[in-house]
Chain A
Amino acid sequence: MVTEKQSLDPHNWVKAHADYLYSYTLSRLNDEEQAKDLVQETFLAALEKVDRFEGKSSERTWLTAILKNKIIDVYRKKSSGLANITEKKAEEEQKDFFEEDTGHWTEAHQPLPLGIEDLEPLRAKEFSHILQLCMQKLPAMWMSVFTMKHMDDATTEFICSELRVTQANFWVIIHRAKLSLRACLQKNWI
Chain B
Amino acid sequence: MNHLKKVIYNCKQATLLIEKRQIRKLSFRESIELRVHLAGCSMCQLYNKQSQIIHQMVLQLFHDTEQQASTLLLDENFKKELQERIEEGLNNN
Contacts and interface: CB of A to CB of B under 8 A. Distances in A.
Interface residues of B, number: 44
- The 8 tightest CB contacts between A and B, nearest first, are A103-B10, A26-B69, A27-B69, A27-B66, A14-B83, A98-B12, A103-B12, A23-B69
A47 B50 CA distance: 48
Contacts of A30: 65, 69
A132 B10 contact: no
A27 B71 CA distance: 11
A74 interface: no
B73 A97 contact: no
Interface of A: 10-11, 13-15, 18-19, 22-24, 26-27, 30, 32, 36, 39-40, 43-44, 47, 50, 94, 97-98, 102-105, 110-114, 116-117, 127-128, 131-132, 135, 146-147, 149-151, 155-156, 171, 174-175, 178-179, 181-182, 185
Nearest to A97: B12
Interface string B34-51: 000000000100110111
Interface in B41-72: 43, 46-47, 49-51, 53-54, 57-62, 65-66, 69-72
A182 B51 contact: yes
